[in-house]
Structure 1
């Protein structure tokens, strides 16, 4: 089992944290939910894709008869802005063990024009009913102890002062493996890897919904491949495999193929009990110049 130190002090419980408040949705009518996208989950003024998926995931969890996302896929159509949004859900199928739904998150321009931001298809079930049999060749990422890893507070002051870039970092407890931080020192490894310890800054334990954020919360692997700038997500699919045990998570990202200005980014999320609790793959666009 993983041993950690300097984990965030628990100041908030599941259901009573900033993450819960900022992903909250209010039912306007059956299947339609109002949301308020918080500026606190932006990076360089763009709302984080994992946070957006958690907002839509919460709405689907209220609309469907099963509580937990098993698999959820999102296509990001346009960049989202902080502020009011509407999530429209539709139940596609309801079964004994799984229910499937789809959802769209929309916002409105100043002239009243509706713009769809992302569209989601998901299957929900109950993770608590799954058998505990595990047969796997997957292994947790090997990370240095927390005290040997680095977070946003360890960066030089001039790097922390980029407008809009630190909002989400203030809400995360993130300690990155030094072996994947060459980009921060001007010497990227070129390996397309990123690894680190992950939690929420207020110490709230992870749950299935926050795993949707965890897979998209580390710096992009493109940085360690020598690329800079925004790496917008085109499509993101997350598989939630188990309810995570209390304690910090370990997240590992890898990219094997960058071609034509697009790359895939695979994520694994491991809990403090050495269980693989979430996996994801996303397609993202990069700027090559």
Structure 2
């Protein structure tokens, strides 16, 4: 099936007439993972509203530099609103807060996501890059493992796999056949199937697109995000993105998950760290 710019359409926000800085959106159920909408997709929705607000005017700032999100409750498919509060407008950067809300089961509004972010203009960044980070070495996408190879029950729990083209490095998918490496790392290639090239708002989703890195530790429960901070370092070049998720510490049912995103020119374009709570299968069944 060919999708027509699904990501742009399904993360669109529309400013509400008569209510300053309030944006309406509709969360599509095909971006679900487990019981809720993917955390990266929600971050992109909030990022769009912030970009619309902070990017307004000649001297506006429409590119996310740093964005931190706290996930307060599980988001569901359906209508939602994003309210933006502009905290500061500066020459080089502006700072804003955003809150994503949905009607709860009893009809009252429930806050799903709270965000604090700094936006600027990535085109103003200097080309001087000094880094010890190295791009991941992986087989080409055609030699990697696509979503069609995932077990049917896994695909049923993660319908967002039908919205993206994700190819995992075979060296990091032993967990899928009961042989996790124990290293706590998953790598893969990413692009959108409709041919849309990557941009900063898409990066906000991609930092949370891979399966939970805890799978590679032999811990197979879903891992809902509690907090996610993303730094966008540059506008990505056209083409495939390479994504690496890793963890160094899983303890007490919680883990940190670090992500790096590299573009087709071997540039590190985004980094993130999140805290996630791993829901063990026996908990999920309750």
Give the equivalent residue in structure 2 for 1:263: 255
Counterpart of 1:86? 81
2:33 corresponds to: 43
Residue 160 of structure 2 aligns with which residue?
A: 168
Deviations 1:202-225 (A, max 9, x none): 121100000001110011111111
1:213 counterpart residue number = 205
Q: Which moved more, 1:111-120 or 1:232-241?
A: 111-120
Task: Could you tell me which runs of 5 or more consecutive residues in structure 1 were left unpaired when the two chains were aligned.
Answer: 1-10
Give the counterpart of 1:32 among 22, 28, 31: 22
Structure 2 unmatched runs, 5+ = 55-59
* Separation (CA, whole Å) in 1 of partners of 2:141 and 2:24: 38
Deviations 1:73-121 (A, max 9, x none): 0000000000000101100001000000001000112432111001000
Pair 1:130–1:162, CA change in 2 (3 A) = closer
| Residue aligned with 1:267, SS | strand
Q: CA distance change for structure 1 residues 184 and 162 in 2, over 3 Å: closer, same or farther? A: closer
Q: Distance in 2 between matches of 1:209 and 1:265?
A: 20
Distance 1:83 1:164, change over 3 A: farther
- SS of aligned partner of 1:51: helix
Confirm whether residue 152 of structure 1 aligns to residue 141 of structure 2: no
Contact 2:224–2:279, Cα closer than 8 Å, also in 1: no
Q: 2: CA distance between counterparts of 1:111 and 1:263?
A: 33
* Alignment-derived partner of residue 7 in structure 2: 19
Q: CA deviation at 1:17?
A: 1.1
Aligned residues: 273
Q: CA deviation at 1:162?
A: 4.8
Higher relative contact order (CA 8 A, sep 6+): 1
Deviation of the 1:282 alpha carbon: 0.2
Q: Cα distance 1:252–1:163, how it changes in 2: closer, same or farther (>3 A)?
A: closer
Decide whether the 8 Å contact of 1:72 with 1:239 is kept in 2.
yes
Deviates more, 1:277-286 or 1:37-46: 37-46
**TM-score computed with the length of structure 2 as normaliser:** 0.92
State the Cα distance separating 1:161 from its structure 2 match: 4.2
**Greater mean alpha carbon deviation, residues 36-45 or residues 187-196:** 36-45
Residue 250 of structure 1 corresponds to which residue in structure 2? 242
